[in-house]
Structure 1
Amino acid sequence: MGTLGLLDTFFNKAVEAKFDVSFHISDEKGCVVFVDPTGYFGDIEVYADDDELTVGFGRFTHANFGCYREGVPKNDVHDEIASDVIDTFRKVFDGDLRFYGSHAGGGGYEPAILEPSYTPWFADLERFAWPKAAR
């Protein structure tokens, strides 16, 4: 399997998804970068690590995506992981997820339809959507 294959699978699915967001492969960082048009949210970066994708959501948080379902054929694992990230990105770019906090002090994300009290430890933090979704 390997990390390059997983990142390639993800990149190809991102191209197929036709997101209205600028993205590219950064050879310097070894990841796929989705560019924040405002610079405020921060770029979203996708890294491959063995059979997992790690997504850095701008200045807020990160998430790990792997294939944890049993019985998935080995040849389909990368496709399943990449598809999960693409589904999450649809929610991000459509404004269906809100982000709060930071990498330094506890950040996260939640469905936009929830009240901030859903995450009581972070209830006082301002929520942010991907810039295009916030317009």
Structure 2
Amino acid sequence: MTHVIAQGTFDILHPGHVHYLRDAKAFGDRLTVIVARRENVTHKEPPILPNRQRRDMVSALDPVDDARVGHPDDIFAPIEEMEPDVIALGHDQHHDETAIEEELARRGVECTVRRAGPRDPEYEGELLSTGRIIDRILEERG
């Protein structure tokens, strides 16, 4: 059985998230999703929704077999614990595959890092980004 781990913030779920998780699941047989803790999100605005709510929403999606909130101090700790075969990155996530592979090797974790493909909007006006959803809400209702 091929175990895949995907990770992300997953604030305000949208079709781009579903696409990413479907692609991730296609890399193997079992998909575990690690939802970033609010306090660990430093590359963009912190999520609006609480950690557990984001985890529960992700857990309810069909491709997901298990979802958990990330480690408070070490983002690699759950990966070391679960020893996945594949780590799936979203097509637009800021992570550097080589840096991840090097850190995994340093920790003795043998797995492949793969990136999901992009998802183009299926219709005009479809929003595939939490930031764009928030911007639209502020434009129309702010």
TM-score by length of 2: 0.28
TM-score by length of 1: 0.28
- Indicate the structure with greater strand content: 1
